[in-house]
Amino acid sequence: MRYCESPFFHHRRKTREVVIGDPARGGVIIGGNHPVVKQSMLTCDTMDTAESVKQTLDLVAVGCQLVRITAPTVKDAANLQNIVAELRKRGCNVPIVADIHFKPDAAMEAVKWVEVVRVNPGNYADSKKFATKEYTDEQYTAELKRIEEKFTPLVLECIRRKRCLRIGTNHGSLSDRIMNRYGDTPLGMVESALEFARICRKHNFHNVKFSMKSSNPKVMIECYRLLVARLNELDEQEFNPQSAIRNPQSWNYPIHLGVTEAGEGEDGRIKSAIGIGSLLCDGLGDTIRVSLTEDSPREIEVCTDLLAQVPKLTCSVSRLQAASAEPAKAGTPDTFPFDPFHFERRETPEIELNEQVKCGGEQLIRVVVIRATWDKVAPKIRPKDDVKPEAVYEDLNVAEIDPTKDFEINCETQLVTVKDGVNLPAITAFHLLAAKLKRLGRNNPILLKDCLNPVVVSSLRLDSSAHSADATPLEPKIALLRASVVIGSLLADGIGDAILIRGEAGGGQSLRLAYNILQAAGCRSFKTDYVACPSCGRTLFDLQTVTARIKARTEHLKGVKIAIMGCIVNGPGEMADADFGYVGGAPGKINLYVGKTPIKFNIPEAEAVDRLVDLIKEHNKWVEPEAQGQSALQTVV
């Protein structure tokens, strides 16, 4: 199965064009050769027409091109008429997406007023009970027929009103039927979406886009790759791929990208950059949303910045041909240096970086710094600090290789990296290095770099290579995104045994960024991990305030994962790999979970954080915070 042309060069996936609204009057066209569309979501109560209009206008003012509004009930869906009417009255024609969960009746009301209806296959026609049941083929077929009966009226209404559908599968809300047949897997997410797509196609309705969201960037990347591979496979099964005429019933539907429940601040941006950025570099994605537990307009700024990095981090066919003898068509499965559909860390021998630290094998992914950073942060490291440099680049026995040329490695215990100045983007260069090592039958540990042309940083006394195209230090927010995409995508492909961040100008910032990327990619855990959803009209408490309150009490709990969910739509499912969950159950009431199991119900919000701490203590995950003091991570800038 193939999801992209090649892991070595960028080629955007060709998709059908989906028209949303009137492009001449503020609508958009998704797919084809059109630019990737940026979208976000309102955080207010959908019944508050004035606030909904205000938030929509605020989003449009900063470049949002699609605005999603939740419609949890028929009453909310009906109020979309008032919201849309007021927006159009004010000259705002941005297309509106109604977000539907659980209520087909709400979808049938919403489709009257908005350009797009998003449905979640996991809960549109099913109520999730985490039930275990074996389905015979006959029973499974009967379930599919039941789903078709519930979903078809919406499809027919979309056809009549010329609306668009987003079939949006969420990792946290797969139906019991899918879970029992496919498990909690990327394949289950894909098949869940395809069941609904087949119903659309049965009625010759193709104004459809897909999404495959997860709070885990690795899972999200695997899901989207598998989805596109399955769509390509279906095309090959149903139609002649050699035909010069594009079949109007091709499965080449547009894709919406997003990491759900990414959180806030640097962590939310890093997780989103890893997931969304990796797939954009694969050539996938026609719309994106960066889901942050922050005010929605901030999401658009990150979308804009992230999209701007993709051309700088990817390689064209012509550039690859000019730089390397590697054939430009090298995208067949046997040339891939990794399995794109199942995460597996590249197998390497264990080696010593220095007298204290080993890497490779089953060792942790190690953090390497340049000498200037070491000199600045080392005096401030405390014995118990988890965030600290583990090796100095200039002291390492590392072979710097130009993967565009032939090379020989005679010893598998030799640490290798890409040589600075290679005329390729870092992702391409490291993919090429891993592929050539594979061909040579070598499993050498690899040191990843976020850039191959180190920047000039006068405060750290670094000298840039004379040929560097990045001689000016990057703005911190851009350095964060670039490093997250480069290092995060390679780690998600299973490549890398140590990492070196040099695009960030400050010593302390680069060290912090390295560890945050490793945590977001699921490679190391040095602090509390939070899964926090962005606010929306379904949210039953102030997510930003509550998230800050929970962090203030629990951020010292290394290795503990806490989910903070505004409602139950994705809560229990997305919390499946969290240790504890804080979920809005009713207005002013909180339910507490251990994993995906609800333990305490209807706790008054004023008491809920204390009760969460009590629950953590009951399960022996609590440690008392140490006396206040600043680590190197906090003091070095």
CA distance 440 to 460: 38
Q: How far apart are CA 173 and CA 166, in angstroms?
A: 16
User: Please, what are the domains in the chain?
Assistant: 18-314 (3.20.20.20), 320-526 (no CATH), 529-618 (3.30.413.10)
Return the H-helix or E-strand segment holding 233.
helix 217-238
Q: pLDDT band for 329, please (50, 70, 90 cuts).
A: very low
Question: What is the amino acid identity at position 536?
Answer: C
Q: Residue 578 has what pLDDT?
A: 85
pLDDT > 50? residue 440: yes
CB contact at 8 A, 55 and 43 = yes
Contact 206, 253 (CB under 8 A): yes
Q: Which region among 198-207, 358-367, 618-627 has the lowest average model confidence (pLDDT)?
A: 618-627
Helix-strand-coil percent breakdown of the chain, rounded to 5?
40, 15, 45
Task: Read off the pLDDT of each residue in 346-371 and give the average, rounded to a whole number.
Answer: 96
Please answer whether residues 31 and 18 qualify as being in contact, where contact means their C-beta atoms are separated by less than 8 angstroms.
yes
Residue 146 phi, psi dihedral angles, 5° rounding: -65, -45
User: Which of 6-10, 276-280, 525-529 has maximum average pLDDT?
Assistant: 276-280
Segment among 192-206, 224-238, 287-301, 465-479 with least mean pLDDT: 465-479
Q: Does pLDDT of 562 surpass 50?
A: yes
Find out whether 426 and 315 touch, Cβ atoms under 8 Å: no
Q: Residue 39 forms beta bridges with which residues? A: 66
Question: Is residue 89 pLDDT above 50, yes or no?
Answer: yes
Would you call 176 helix, strand, or coil by DSSP?
helix
pLDDT the model gives residue 407: 93
Task: Write down the pLDDT at residue 573.
Answer: 58
Which pLDDT does position 276 carry in this prediction?
Answer: 98
In this structure, are residues 10 and 289 in contact, taking their beta carbons and an 8 Å threshold? no
| pLDDT at 538 > cutoff 80 | no
| Cα 238 to Cα 105, 193, 209, 230, 630, distances in angstroms | 34, 18, 20, 12, 62
More confident residue, 329 or 380: 380
The answer to whether residues 63 and 54 touch, using CB atoms and an 8 Å cutoff, is no
Look over the chain and give the mean of its residue pLDDT values, rounded to a whole number: 89
Confidence class for position 458, pLDDT limits 50, 70, 90: very low
Complete DSSP assignment for 106-172: HHHHHTTT-SEEEE-TTTSS-----------HHHHHHHHHHHHHHHHHHHHHHHHHT-EEEEEEEGG
Contacts 24+ apart (CB under 8 A), 83-89: 83/46, 83/49, 83/52, 83/53, 83/56, 84/113, 84/114, 86/49, 86/53, 87/53, 87/56, 87/57
**How many Cα atoms within 13 Å fall on the side-chain side of residue 134?**
1
Least confident of 314-328, 407-421, 594-608: 314-328
Is residue 225 classed exposed, middle or buried when 0-12, 13-18 and 19+ CB atoms within 10 A define those classes?
buried
Residue-wise DSSP of 516-556: HHHHHTTS---S-EEEEPPP-TT--S-HHHHHHHHHHHHTT
pLDDT surpassing 60 at residue 460: no
pLDDT at 351: 97
pLDDT band at 467 (very low <50, low <70, confident <90, very high): very low
550, 564 contact by CB (below 8 A): yes
Q: How many percent of the chain have pLDDT more than 90?
A: 69
Q: What is the mean pLDDT of residues 136-157?
A: 93
Which residues touch 385 (CB under 8 Å, ≥6 apart)? Answer: 631, 632, 633
In which element (H, E) is residue 583 found?
strand 580-586
- Residues 421, 393 contacting (CB under 8 angstroms): no
Identify the pLDDT of residue 242.
58
The answer to whether residue 466 scores a pLDDT higher than 50 is: no
Q: Given a cut of 80, is residue 332 above it in pLDDT?
A: no
- How buried is residue 472: exposed, middle or buried, by Cβ count under 10 Å (0-12/13-18/19+)? exposed
Residue 627: band (very low, low, confident or very high) from pLDDT cuts 50, 70, 90: low
Whether the per-residue pLDDT at 315 is higher than 80: the answer is yes
Assess whether pLDDT exceeds 50 at residue 442: yes
Please give the average per-residue pLDDT across 239-263, as a whole number. Answer: 78
- Please, what sign has the CA dihedral across residues 84, 85, 89, 95? positive
* Residues in CB range of 458: below 8 A, 6 or more apart: none
Alpha-carbon gap, residue 182 to 186, rounded angstroms: 9
264 Cβ neighbours under 8 A, 6+ residues apart: 292, 293, 294, 532, 544, 547
pLDDT confidence tier of residue 531, bands split at 50, 70 and 90: confident
pLDDT of residue 505: 81
Query: Token pair for residue 36?
Result: 């990737």
Give Cα separations from 570 to 307, 419, 432, 636 (angstroms). 27, 44, 38, 38
Tokens in use for 389?
């440099």
Instruction: Specify the higher pLDDT residue, 545 or 329.
Output: 545
499: nearest Cα among 508, 282, 488: 488
Least confident of 64-68, 230-234, 298-302, 451-455: 451-455
Whether the pLDDT of residue 138 is over 80: the answer is yes
Reading phi first (left if > 0) and then psi (alpha if -120 to 50, else beta), residue 316 is in beta
Lowest-confidence range among 89-98, 100-109, 140-149, 534-543? Answer: 534-543
Three-state SS string over 596-619 comes to: CEEEEEEEEHHHHHHHHHHHHHHC
Confirm if 463 and 456 have CB atoms less than 8 A apart.
Answer: yes
Residue 262 CA to residue 138 CA, distance in Å, equals 39
pLDDT-based confidence at residue 570 (cuts at 50, 70, 90):
low
**pLDDT tops 90 at residue 481:** yes
